[in-house]
Amino acid sequence: MPVDRATKRAWLIWSTAVIVYVAALFHRTSLGVASLEAGDRFSVGPAALGTFTVLQIGLYALMQVPTGLLVDRFGPRRVLTAAALLMGTGQALFALADSYPLGLAARAVLGVGDAMTWVSVLRLAAAHFPPRRYTVVMTLSAALGGAGNLVATVPLTLLLQNAGWTATFLIAGGATAAYSAVVTWRVRDVPDGVPQPVSEPVPLRAVGAKVVAAWRQPSTRLGFWVHFTTMFTPALLSLLWGFPYLVEAQGMSRPAASAVLSTLVLVAVVAGPVMGAVIGRYPVWRMPIVGAYLAVAVVCWAVLLGWPGGVLPAPVLYALFAVLAIGNPVSGVAFAIVRDYHPLHRVSTATGVANVGGFAAITFTALVVGVLLDLVEPALSAPQAYRVAFLSVAAVLLLGVWRTVVWWLRARGVVLAALERGEVVPVEVRRRRWDVLADA
């Protein structure tokens, strides 16, 4: 049963847990400004460089459903502790790696640890805060996670230039691993006096059936496509390809490119709590906000790809990156939808399924952009090469928009049918003329 109010202890537990997520965002995006150094260190080209992100984010996506099952089975405290240890170990290995295979192994370990953070934080929020506060806490968590992303821009660029690769990443890894002790000490899975939700061990043969059952729920599938479409383009730019694009295709200095990437983070940090408050207080606005953002995002990518000559003025780049950054807080709508339509003892598994969306998109586009750059760079200038490579991003974005609209209509149809049967639903909607498309 959900709690009816948030206590000081709940905020303390959440703040302890969210620091792990802040560390995860730092480690996840650290390669974004270190990508050129990584290329030199491991002597690899764009496609091989993209493999770092593909491997890390691919493992992240694959781990979401297992993470949900682990959190449901063992509780978020144990899973967060393991996450901190794995991330710290992975980053320390990356600091010491002197070969491409070892670097890949390090990013794989880091990706597994990173994958275990977000679902755990959301489960703690669902257990320690009342439903009306859940959306606010969720978006506040995402916004604070942006602090880790912010440190991985200009500050990390300066630290790499002064302290060097090994010292920078070794310190970050050691600090993260050590913080696991704090998580074990201070985090509790449920409030005092509240029984621990019981989740029986799921036989391996039953896992697939459980995932399929979750996927068949319209709310889960809508959450998947919302996350897929809103989150992946700003994340792709911050994780890997934004920094090389700004330096190589736009001719910016490294500090200037880091400053533009910082816009992605700062806007998300500011917009996150505001977005959480709005969609928490006015849940009927959730999907209209998603639709408005997607329409604007399509326009932004049209400008990036269609600008004459391919080299954009710095103010235009700042504006475009700022608008695209709103996708990160908007993606929280996916988890609010999942939270509304699943009980607590299954919410982690369903959240994991939805969370796969954006990271599956990132995994695919990160690899395709690298491969296309390898193919076209010898024949084209840098601005034109990135324009060709980023066409794949626009194509995936349009695919996501289409599927989001389809499942928005279908999910509305399920809710409307429930209302007609006299059932109570989390968010009431009114039938519109275009709802007939869902019945077609």
Task: Place 152 in a pLDDT band, splitting at 50, 70 and 90.
Answer: low
Instruction: Report whether CATH 1.10.10.10 matches the domain 8-191+211-439.
Output: no
Q: Two tokens at 257?
A: 């490119």
Q: Two tokens at 343?
A: 């009980």
In whole angstroms, how far apart are CA 335 and each of 40, 98, 153, 256, 267?
Answer: 39, 39, 27, 34, 20
Predicted local confidence at residue 12, as pLDDT: 92
Does the pLDDT value for residue 341 go beyond 80?
no
Residue 56 vs residue 347, higher pLDDT: 56
Does the pLDDT value for residue 318 go beyond 60?
yes
* Residue 133 CA to its chain's centroid (Å): 21
Give the mean pLDDT of the chain: 84
For residues 232-256, average pLDDT? 88
Q: Please state, in angstroms and rounded to a whole number, the distance separating the CA atoms of residues 107 and 113.
A: 10
Predicted local confidence at residue 200, as pLDDT: 58
427 with 340: CB under 8 angstroms? yes
Predicted local confidence at residue 393, as pLDDT: 94
Most confident by average pLDDT, 134-143, 206-215, 400-409, 417-426: 400-409
Does the pLDDT value for residue 317 go beyond 60?
yes
For residues 281-308, average pLDDT? 92
Predicted local confidence at residue 282, as pLDDT: 82
Residue 424 vs residue 349, higher pLDDT: 349
Note the pLDDT tens digit of each residue in 166-178.
888 899 899 999 9
47 with 96: CB under 8 angstroms? no
**φ, ψ for residue 31 (rounded to 5)?**
-70, -15
Query: Of the ranges 124-133, 202-211, 359-368, which one carries the lowest mean pLDDT score?
Result: 202-211
In whole angstroms, how far apart are CA 294 and each of 133, 226, 273, 297, 327?
Answer: 26, 10, 20, 5, 8
For residues 183-199, average pLDDT? 75
- The model carries a pTM of 0.75
Helix axes 131-151, 8-42, angle to 10 degrees: 30
In whole angstroms, how far apart are CA 359 and each of 90, 138, 201, 237, 353?
Answer: 19, 18, 27, 13, 11
Report the C-alpha dihedral over residues 387, 391, 397, 398, rounded to 10 degrees: 130
Residues 6+ apart with CB under 8 A from 165: 34, 37, 41, 95
Note the pLDDT tens digit of each residue in 374-417.
888 888 888 999 999 999 999 999 999 999 998 888 887 777 77
Query: Of the ranges 276-280, 399-403, 417-421, 422-426, which one carries the lowest mean pLDDT score?
Result: 422-426
Domains of the chain, residue spans: 8-191+211-439
Note the pLDDT tens digit of each residue in 72-105.
778 899 999 999 999 999 999 999 998 899 999 9
Q: Two tokens at 282?
A: 């006015």
Does the pLDDT value for residue 201 go beyond 70?
no
Q: How many CA atoms lie within 13 A of 11 on its CB side?
A: 7
Does the pLDDT value for residue 366 go beyond 80?
yes
Percent of the chain with pLDDT over 70: 88
Task: Place 437 in a pLDDT band, splitting at 50, 70 and 90.
Answer: low
Predicted local confidence at residue 322, as pLDDT: 94
**φ, ψ for residue 280 (rounded to 5)?**
-75, -40
Residues 6+ apart with CB under 8 A from 110: 27, 28, 56, 86, 87, 90, 91, 94
Closest-CA residue to 25 (of 65, 56, 67, 58): 56
Residue 129 vs residue 93, higher pLDDT: 93
Predicted local confidence at residue 176, as pLDDT: 93
Helix, strand, coil content of the chain in percent (nearest 5): 85, 0, 15
For the four alpha carbons of 149, 155, 157 and 162, in that order, the dihedral sign comes to negative
111 with 59: CB under 8 angstroms? yes
